[in-house]
Amino acid sequence: MRKIWDIPGGIHPPENKRQSNATPIASVPLPEELILPLTQHIGTPALSLVAVGDHVLKGQKIAEAGGALSAALHAPSSGVVKAIEDRPSNHPSGLDAASIVIQCDGDDKWTQLTGCDNYLSLDPSELLNKIHQAGIAGLGGAGFPTAVKLQARQKIHTLIINGTECEPYITADDTLMRQHAPDIIRGSQLLAYILGATQIVIGIEDNKPEAIDTIRQAAQSAHSAIDVVDFPTKYPSGGEKQLIQILTGKEVASGNLPADMGIVVQNVGTAFAAYRAARFGEPLIQRVTTVVGESLSRQGNVQALIGTPIKHLLQAHGYQPSNNSRIIMGGPMMGFTLKCIEAPLIKTSNCVLAPSHSEMPPPSPASPCIRCGLCAEACPASLLPQQLFWYAQAENYPALTQHNLFDCIECGACSYVCPSNLPLVQYYRAAKGDIKRQQQEKEKSDLSRQRFEFRKQRLAKAEAEKEAKRLARKKAAEQAKLKLANTGDPSAENNAASNSAEATLKTHSSNEKDSRMRNLASAQQRLQNAQNKLRTAESHDETETRLSALAAAVKQAEQKLREAQAKVDASEQASDNEQQNAQQTPQQSPQQSQQQSQQRTVDSLKKRLKAAEQKLAEARTNNEASINALQLGTEKLSAKLKDAESELNHIVASAKLNEEQTLEAAPQKNAAELAIEKAQAKTGNLSAMSRGEKALAQIAALESRLQKARIKLDKAQHEQSDHVDALRNGVEKLEQKLKQAREQGS
Amino acid sequence: MPLLNLSSPHAHSSNSTASVMLSVALATLPAALVLSYFFGWGTLINVVLSISFCLSLECFALYLRKRPILFYLKDNSALVTAVLIALSVPPYAPWWLLAIGCLFAIVIAKHLYGGLGYNPFNPAMVAYVVLIISFPLPMSQWPVAQSLQDANAQLPNFLDSLSLVFASRENIDAYTAATPLDVFKQNSSAMVEELYKNSATFSQAKFAGVAWEWVNLAFLAGGLFLLYKKVFTWHAPLSMLAALALMSALFYDGGSSSSGGSPLFHCFSGASMFGAFFIITDPVSSATSRRGKIIFGASIGLLVFVIRLWGNYPDALAFSVLLLNFAAPFIDYYTQPRAYGHSKKPPINSENTK
């Protein structure tokens, strides 16, 4: 005798097995149509191989496995494929599922099957393929594709054949064992051969003495060392983990599979089907099902075709709908209710339970949990159901996980004993679903966060590169300017070092024209810089005040550019500027010193920028973490902003000075210079203006520019110039800017 | 008619809260009878008064809370609380004492906390503690046991009993006597052996103390019945009695004048058996796991002995129970059983601190 162990908890609900196990397995008349959902197993749906209108033979494959974890489907009878469509499913969700519907022709004509007399001489992989091709999925209820389970990577030493059938009412395995014991033994040997298992244990609860006897005899006559073990009846001994504990005393570690401890458990029905597949090439197209319940006039086990509508099955047993309020697929402990009886019988359907009203009255209302602990006493997994219930109500998911919610096998023992009639399992299922969903969402958000951070990094890098290039250009221009200034007259020193805002003050240098051209270039550069800054600031969501300040800077730079342009033009016209130059030079001196100090600040800022640039470059060459790069980016930004600020101040200051100067120098200026000074004054005014005024001025400036641009465009169009497109773009841009300015102004 | 769509399991045992509560109430019958035998009508008056107070207060509280009155009244939980209060208050206690006790038990300790299943404290013990602190005199006036009666001390007849409860309590002293625990507590010089010889409470007793040994035996019988009916498990009662016995054995001190009393004396005196089987087994307010129940029970046993020996009160069940009611969630937290497939106890705080 093999030593057996006890499991903690467990219950003894009324067995209710007599109703169905007294008679041999009967048959059901062929239904008119068979409905075969493409998902009857755990895993990916099968892929249909037939089209509507195809004629199929009994046993013909109509859908193949849709992936590694999937099972094929076969026509349970001959007929025509009537439809491939969504039909009510045999699933707890009650949702419709894609199904192949076969209109039976009544001939029940078999396809050609390839059997094998000496199947044990075949290679295990070949047998595995036969089982795979036969579409066998765990017949005990879970529907795990059998071939996948038999392909365990781990070394398997023990095969346990589960004949426990601990659920009340169900006797499908019981009668199968009684009537087909030799085939079950052969099937067990076949499975052990495929697995390479050295030990076969068949576990049966002691409430099935006939089955135990026949299986023992069959095992003896097969001269095999199969261990047939009976153990005390207790629900849920038939759970995979519980059966392993009963037969080996070991527990499957949480999160592990039995295969991890060298054990594979298969249902007796699965062993039987595997034998039929290997020996006769017979696919899984029928199964033994218990049809039971007091709303039926005849109860018992039937050999039913997969796909038989439950309605057909019930009607064949004298179903009285008036005396029935729920149809349960499976047993009363773990079965689920059908939403409509048009759903078909599937591979995992071991029982159709149609109880009468008195047999299973509607549940009484739940009362509060009194923490009596009966549930904890009944739990086969040694959980604390009352605590889980408490936490499930509070949706305290961390506590639920900590209380091992996921080790709950949903056997229903806790709900069964609960004096408060609490639907505990329902709470656990809901909580499990919520936790899983939460985890999925967390994974998803983690992923998108990673993506976002990567994008940010990438953008910062691109920005830094652009900035580096820009600075390099600026520096080169600056150096060129310096060089030029050094080779020129003394006043050019000031000129080269100054901003474009001071451009007007250097109209009287000796090489006037050159310096003006340089001023023009530098003004252009400044405008570009200011625009860049504004754009970066915009993309970095700076405060409104800073944005408007920068926008004003851009405006001013534009103005300067125009002035510089005008000056260049003017210098060509003017010829008598020398005297004025001489007059103006002394006036310049205080301004010069100021400009020089400002120049120093700008220079130092530039240095800082350069240093930041270097740091960034270093970080890049050293492949430092992204954080460093980002930090440098921020540093740079702040430096840049400071730069902009100082520049702004600078411009304002110089503009004011210019204003004064204009007043002083006005009488001496020629017409061209007057125009320039006017523009200068306007700039000064602009900076002094309020925001609204500024906006208005801006709008006006833009309007005039737009007008000019339009005229140019018209001209170009008229002349059919090549620049039409570019000009049109320019006009469009200006229009946009104007619109924006108006929006801001309003 | 559409088919019912229900979640498994579809089968249910015939067990219900109402039947569990009724079993508990019925299991107190032997003790109620023994108490009546020794102390007269007082116990029965207590029971009747307490049940009527508790049930009406329960109705009132349910009405205020807008709950279905009949549905909740039928769960018999108020009945159990009523019986437990009735048996813990001395017979012939004034009616208002019971009324106040019931008010505290049902309205404050139970319904203000959310009703059945949500009360952190045992309602009957809350009532007892409130009464013994607020009204120590009537709460300690236990009548003299019938077997000890002489010409001077007679149990009141039924009418006298009613008048004691509802009218004048001037004569109450005529009927009262020290309980065995009182006797032991007040002993300051006598050796245990002397005490047993001199005090009628012990000299006329079979093994522990007159009347109380039988009361405790009756509670034990009722408790064993409930144990057999699987209303609760053995863990809490046994560990409480074991702790009490162990402590008294440790401090028996060879029967000297400073002895704490024998284990037998402690287990069969006062509220020991009542507490072990009817109070600390209250599922709502006690620890849930098996290990938790053992810790819960043993701690109560320990505290009972500590207060009996060194405290101000002759008995200490209510205080000990309330203290451990506080600790029950804490005990639960650290005594989670090892679940299937887990090699060790679940790591505490591993998830919660996140």
Q: How far is CA B119 from the centre of its chain?
A: 16
Helix (H, G, I), strand (E, B), or coil: what is residue A58? strand
Q: Give the residue extent of every domain in chain B.
A: 17-334
- Cβ separation B340–A429 shorter than 8 A: no
Q: Are both A676 and A694 inside the same structural domain? A: no
pLDDT of the residue at B152: 53
Q: pLDDT by residue (tens digit) across A620-641?
A: 666 655 555 556 665 665 666 6
Contacts of A243 in chain B (CB under 8 A): none
Closest approach of chain B CAs to the CA of A439, in angstroms? 14
A-chain residue closest to B9, CA distance: A333
A-chain residue closest to B335, CA distance: A384
pLDDT of the residue at A585: 47
Q: Tell me the CB-side half-sphere exposure of residue A646, using CA atoms within 13 A.
A: 19
Residue pair A21/A171 in contact (Cβ under 8 Å)? The answer is yes
Q: pLDDT by residue (tens digit) across B62-81?
A: 999 999 999 898 899 999 99
- Cβ separation A382–B337 shorter than 8 A: yes
Tally of structural domains, chain A: 3
The CATH number of B17-334 is 1.10.3430
Q: pLDDT by residue (tens digit) across B265-305?
A: 889 988 899 999 999 999 899 998 899 999 999 999 999 99
Q: Are both A253 and A173 inside the same structural domain? A: yes
- Cβ separation B288–A386 shorter than 8 A: yes
Contacts of B77 in chain A (CB under 8 A): 370
Q: Are both A128 and A224 inside the same structural domain? A: yes
Print the SS3 string covering A74-88.
Answer: ECCCCEEEEEEEEEE
- Helix, strand, coil percent values for chain B (each to nearest 5): 60, 0, 35
Domain that holds residue A327: 26-353
Contacts of A241 in chain B (CB under 8 A): 340-341
Given a cut of 90, whether residue A215 has pLDDT beyond it is: yes
| Range scoring the smallest mean pLDDT among A218-227, A270-279, A573-582, B100-109 | A573-582
| Residue B220 vs residues A164, A470, B100, B213: alpha-carbon distances, Å | 41, 94, 28, 10
| Residue A97 vs residues A39, A42, A284, B6: alpha-carbon distances, Å | 8, 14, 20, 20
End of a domain among A650, A681, A712?
A681
Closest approach of chain B CAs to the CA of A8, in angstroms? 9
Q: pLDDT by residue (tens digit) across B158-182?
A: 877 888 888 777 767 767 777 778 7
pLDDT of the residue at A687: 55
Contacts of A321 in chain B (CB under 8 A): 1
**Comparing A620 with A192, which gets the higher pLDDT?**
A192
Nearest to A13 among B6, B11, B75 (CB): B11
Given a cut of 80, whether residue A265 has pLDDT beyond it is: yes
Q: Are both A677 and A710 inside the same structural domain? A: no
How sure is the predictor about B183, in pLDDT bands with cuts at 50, 70 and 90?
confident
- Cβ separation B10–A326 shorter than 8 A: yes
Given a cut of 70, whether residue A510 has pLDDT beyond it is: no
Residue A632 falls inside a structural domain: yes
Residue A433 falls inside a structural domain: no
Q: Are both A647 and A741 inside the same structural domain? A: no
Residue A448 falls inside a structural domain: no
Nearest to B340 among A251, A337, A371 (CB): A251
d(CA B342, CA B230): 28
Given a cut of 50, whether residue B138 has pLDDT beyond it is: yes
Q: Are both A167 and A223 inside the same structural domain? A: yes
- Summarize the confidence of residues B226-230 as an average pLDDT: 92
Contacts of A423 in chain B (CB under 8 A): 7
Instruction: State the burial class of residue A277 (Cβ atoms within 10 Å of its Cβ: 0-12, 13-18, 19+).
Output: buried
DSSP string, A396-463: -HHHHHHTTGGG-----HHHHH-TT---HHHHHHHHHHHHHHHHHHHHHHHHHHHHHHHHHHHHHHHH
Nearest to A381 among B13, B332, B339 (CB): B339
- Mean pLDDT computed over every residue of chain A: 82
pLDDT of the residue at A631: 63
Helix (H, G, I), strand (E, B), or coil: what is residue A497? helix
Residue A157 falls inside a structural domain: yes
How sure is the predictor about B44, in pLDDT bands with cuts at 50, 70 and 90?
very high
Q: pLDDT by residue (tens digit) across A333-349?
A: 999 999 889 999 999 99
Q: Are both A339 and A215 inside the same structural domain? A: yes
End of a domain among A665, A681, A697?
A681
How sure is the predictor about B34, in pLDDT bands with cuts at 50, 70 and 90?
very high
Q: What is the DSSP letter of B106?
A: I
- Cβ separation B3–A327 shorter than 8 A: yes
pLDDT of the residue at A570: 72
Determine phi and psi for A519, rounding to 5 degrees: -60, -40
Residue A183 falls inside a structural domain: yes
Contacts of A426 in chain B (CB under 8 A): 7
Residue pair A338/A310 in contact (Cβ under 8 Å)? The answer is yes
Q: Are both A240 and A285 inside the same structural domain? A: yes
Q: Are both A78 and A136 inside the same structural domain? A: yes
Given a cut of 50, whether residue A744 has pLDDT beyond it is: yes
- Summarize the confidence of residues A231-236 as an average pLDDT: 93
Closest approach of chain B CAs to the CA of A153, in angstroms? 21
- Cβ separation A398–B354 shorter than 8 A: yes
Nearest to B283 among A336, A370, A403 (CB): A370
- Cβ separation B9–A336 shorter than 8 A: no
Nearest to B4 among A332, A337, A423 (CB): A337
Q: Tell me the CB-side half-sphere exposure of residue A462, using CA atoms within 13 A.
A: 7
For residue A552, what is the enclosing H or E element?
helix A544-573
- Cβ separation B19–A419 shorter than 8 A: yes
Given a cut of 90, whether residue B219 has pLDDT beyond it is: yes
Q: Are both A204 and A349 inside the same structural domain? A: yes
- Summarize the confidence of residues A175-200 as an average pLDDT: 93
d(CA B123, CA B110): 6
How sure is the predictor about A579, in pLDDT bands with cuts at 50, 70 and 90?
very low
Contacts of A372 in chain B (CB under 8 A): 20, 231-232, 283
A-chain residue closest to B341, CA distance: A253
Nearest to A362 among B4, B336, B346 (CB): B4
A-chain residue closest to B343, CA distance: A253
B-chain residue closest to A429, CA distance: B7
Residue A368 falls inside a structural domain: no
Given a cut of 90, whether residue A243 has pLDDT beyond it is: yes
Determine phi and psi for A588, rounding to 5 degrees: -70, -25
Query: Is the entire prediction scored with pTM above 0.90?
Result: no
- Cβ separation A334–B118 shorter than 8 A: no
- Summarize the confidence of residues A115-133 as an average pLDDT: 89
pLDDT of the residue at A506: 45
pLDDT of the residue at B38: 87
Given a cut of 80, whether residue A486 has pLDDT beyond it is: no
Q: Are both A642 and A721 inside the same structural domain? A: no
Q: Look-up: residue for tokens 């509507």? A: A52
Closest approach of chain B CAs to the CA of A360, in angstroms? 7
pLDDT of the residue at B345: 56
Does ipTM top 0.90? no
Q: Are both A594 and A737 inside the same structural domain? A: no
How sure is the predictor about B350, in pLDDT bands with cuts at 50, 70 and 90?
very low
**Comparing B156 with A251, which gets the higher pLDDT?**
A251
pLDDT of the residue at A500: 47
Residue A482 falls inside a structural domain: no
End of a domain among A644, A665, A681?
A681
Q: pLDDT by residue (tens digit) across A687-742?
A: 555 566 667 777 888 888 888 888 888 877 777 767 777 888 888 888 888 887 77
Residue pair A51/A361 in contact (Cβ under 8 Å)? The answer is no
Residue pair A555/A683 in contact (Cβ under 8 Å)? The answer is no
- Cβ separation B10–A355 shorter than 8 A: yes
Instruction: Look at strands A328-329 and A336-337 and give their pairing.
Output: antiparallel
- Cβ separation B336–A384 shorter than 8 A: yes
Using only C-alpha atoms, what is the Rg of chain B?
22
| First CA to last CA distance, chain A | 95
Instruction: Look at strands A73-74 and A61-64 and give their pairing.
Output: antiparallel
